[in-house]
Amino acid sequence: MRHIAARMGWGWLGLLLAFSGFGQSEAVYPIIPKPARLENRAGRFVFTNTTVLQIPATRPELRTIAEHFVHQLHAASDLTVRIQQTTETASANQQIRFEPVADARLGDEGYRLDISPATILIEATQPAGFFYAVQSLYQLLPPAVFSPKSTSFSSNWSVPACRIDDQPRFRYRGLHLDVTRHFFPVSFIKKYIDLLALHKFNTFHWHLTDDQGWRIEIKKYPRLTQVGGWRKETLIGHYYESEPQQFDGQPYGGFYTQDEVRDVVQYAKSKYVTIIPEIETPGHALAILAAYPELGCAGGPYETATKWGIFSDILCPHEKTFSFLQDVLTEVMALFPGPYIHIGGDEAPKTAWKKSAFCQRLMKQLKLKNENQLQRYFTARLDRWVSAKGRRMIGWDEIMDGESPAARVSTGAVVMSWRGTAGGLKAARQGHDVIMTPENYVYLDHYQGDRAQEPLAFGRFTPLEETYSYDPVPADLPVSVQQHILGVQACVWTEYLKTPEQVEYMAWPRAAAVAEIAWTSAEQKSWPDFTQRLPVLFQRLDFLQTRYARTYYAVKADPVPQTDGRLRLSLSGSEPEIDVRYTTDGSVPGVESSRYDQPLLLSRPTTIRAVVVRNGRVLGPVQSWDFAVSKAIGKSLQLATPVTRPKTAEASMLIDGQVGNTVGYLEEMQGVAGVKTANLSATIDLGEPQPVQQVTIGLVKATAGNILLPKTVEVAVSEDGQKFRTVKTVALDPTERGKKAIIRQTLTFEPVRSRFVRIIARNVGKVPAGMPKAGQDAWVMADELTID
């Protein structure tokens, strides 16, 4: 296990110290998701080689659950717990008993767990309830119970006494994985399911097809995997990372055979997880069209997408298209016995349908007013067919767009609400069952920490606390509508996640927060309580050899410009009882580094690196910031034209001392500000005349988004703020393309004494001829301005 601790960043000694204190900490019942009711009791049940686990002879299906538990305990501890039937004679002490009960209050997934120093009694009505009780029992044991082999953990293998009465808030508790943008092996899919089950998720949404790849074998249509399962290359970085876009030149692909799918489905069943397959229609279908171009409106040629985004070519509503989809779904249904089939339905542009004479004739024949109603017709046909096969169709919330009397989706169709919550709540009011998965809360491919310090991810920002704050049922929703909210699901899209480790890093611990949203009542949820259980969750994930983000423990930096030209920097952690350690020499901070006790006053450009420490071990990631301290700090700045990009931009950020970045989407860049078509002209009042000989301006270059370098940068000075004289001008190349970046442009000149300094970045106005977006409005955007 030493290699696991080292890889995950917890010192081996620190792990042992942490585990030796397990049971005496505040988080003595570190179960995630939090049980509905938990009663503390004194004492502990200690596992020994004489412990017996009894199961009823009349319920042989419970033996598998019992066997898995005793096998895992033995693997980690070398303890041997014997399984016996309740008809056999057992010793009076150290018993674990599975007792089926007839109690409607528990439902199919609820359980009672009664632990005393002598016995552990587990009661449930169905096997799923016993399974979830065992997951809670695992989480009450030391995290080392998940070690793949016997550990040197020396403390007693025990659980704290308590009584738990538990049942889920929602019947649908889902976690999704996109395997189309990047493909993951069966071994990882099974591990993903293990983690779902441990946290009491009961549904795995398997996104199997999209523009970038078809990932499931369909025997009637072999070209789906032979052609659609592969792309010739893959985009590097974000969509607007470079102009022109850069590709890796490497063919990429893969798919699951039907035998592999059956194996995964059976494995999930053993974990009480239902798999929902998604076959994306009518949009996100380039992999289909590359293999069978006759299913498109234009006839091709098409190719499997090599980059991300939304594409205008979608399936055409020919009869042959419906026959194809029915054939495909027939094979899919044979593989996935669960009640739901997901048909996609999101992000389907209608450009191809608008241009298609066939589609226009069909709309006229069906008396449809627009192409949105044509998609509703498309969806309704699939809905009727799926329903006739005894299954229920799920679609993204776009399936409710384009309502028409000629194209009705049955109320049996389930709506998955991702574009916020409004679409889902509207569908619920119309009688549809709904699964809530709003992207701004539960899309786990979003950045979760400081973008500049996190691995490549989808552009938006959703920290752990924001995810945890989500409630799928608004307080003012009528009870009659609430009953249609089946539950909640988190989604993991993989445009930027190439490896299993990257998927795990983005999913955990936010997936644990979603597990608590899905299982725990709103009244029982508590952010402070959840964070008390995080340390043990992290230790548990370490032993499960699962990578995770520790951004909850990331240091936060708050720089405040001072009127004397210095920068007052405050550093803080997520909890008051933790230490912040920092360095200013560029070295990696650790437990021996300077302890932060009071705000730092920076009087020169400085790189600060900081980390959270508690009980002699590093908890969080190392954070690093560059601060550009200069004579401009804390002074007055006036812009000739107000900045309008990003939407959150303020002029003051140009002299706040903190260097910006271009990570993420263009509208979400941090610490930069810009103007369209106009010059970016900033006048800084130094308060009194003083020597000036150098100015530096950070300039954003992101030509894919029409953010160009200025044609010139000019520095002018003035004694009175009225009459300015130019002291330096440099010419730049607005047509310079390449990777998105911030270019630091320094202008040095003969020393002058001045109170006012004006920096003008002259906008080219329109994107120059010869560039891809020639003639469109050009932006000039700047980062920190410094004066020395």
Give the pairing type, strands 594-595 and 579-583.
Answer: antiparallel
- Do the beta carbons of residue 128 and residue 272 sit within 8 Å? yes
Peptide bond into 244 cis (omega under 30): yes
The answer to whether 347 is a known catalytic residue is yes
Q: Which of 109, 178, 210, 495 is the catalytic position?
A: 210
Scanning the structure block, which residue is given the tokens 């199919």? 108
Tell me how far apart the 2 most distant CA atoms of the chain are, in Å: 101
- Do the beta carbons of residue 614 and residue 531 sit within 8 Å? no
- Do the beta carbons of residue 749 and residue 755 sit within 8 Å? no
Element (H, E) at 748: strand 741-762
Task: Please state, in angstroms and rounded to a whole number, the distance separating the CA atoms of residues 655 and 58.
Answer: 75
- Do the beta carbons of residue 422 and residue 438 sit within 8 Å? no
Among 412, 522, 436, residue whose Cα is nearest residue 174: 436
- Do the beta carbons of residue 699 and residue 782 sit within 8 Å? yes
Helices (H) and strands (E) in the chain, counts: 19, 38
Q: CA–CA distance from 446 to each of 461, 664, 748 (Å)? A: 5, 10, 41
Task: Please state, in angstroms and rounded to a whole number, the distance separating the CA atoms of residues 733 and 711.
Answer: 6
Among 774, 634, 630, residue whose Cα is nearest residue 708: 774
Q: Which of 176, 284, 342, 432 is the catalytic position?
A: 284
Residue 274 amino acid letter:
T
Tokens of 138: 């695992």
Contacts of 559 (CB under 8 A, 6+ apart): 567, 568, 569, 570, 602, 627, 656, 657, 658
Q: How many residues are listed for the chain in this entry?
A: 788
Among 594, 605, 608, residue whose Cα is nearest residue 557: 608
Alpha helices in 292-388 (DSSP H): 319-335, 351-355, 357-366, 371-388
Give the pairing type, strands 274-281 and 203-207.
Answer: parallel
Q: CA–CA distance from 734 to each of 669, 694, 710, 770 (Å)? A: 20, 23, 6, 12
Give the orientation angle of helix 500-507 with respect to helix 510-519, to 10 degrees. 50
The answer to whether 205 is a known catalytic residue is no
Query: CB 719: neighbour CB atoms within 10 A?
Result: 14
Tokens of 299: 């006839």
Q: Which of 194, 233, 347, 626 is the catalytic position?
A: 347
Tokens of 81: 């717990």
Task: Please state, in angstroms and rounded to a whole number, the distance separating the CA atoms of residues 304 and 228.
Answer: 6
The answer to whether 294 is a known catalytic residue is no
* 3-class DSSP string for 281-293: ECCCCHHHHHHCH
Long-range contacts (CB closer than 8 Å, 24 or more residues apart) made by 169-172: 169/518, 169/519, 169/520, 169/521, 169/522, 170/472, 170/485, 170/486, 170/487, 170/488, 170/518, 170/519, 171/109, 171/202, 171/486, 171/487, 172/202, 172/203, 172/435, 172/486, 172/487, 172/488, 172/489, 172/518
DSSP 99-155: EE---GGGTTT-EEEEE-SSEEEEEESSHHHHHHHHHHHHHHS-GGGG-SS-----S
Task: Please state, in angstroms and rounded to a whole number, the distance separating the CA atoms of residues 323 and 231.
Answer: 26
Which are the catalytic amino acids?
Answer: 210, 284, 347
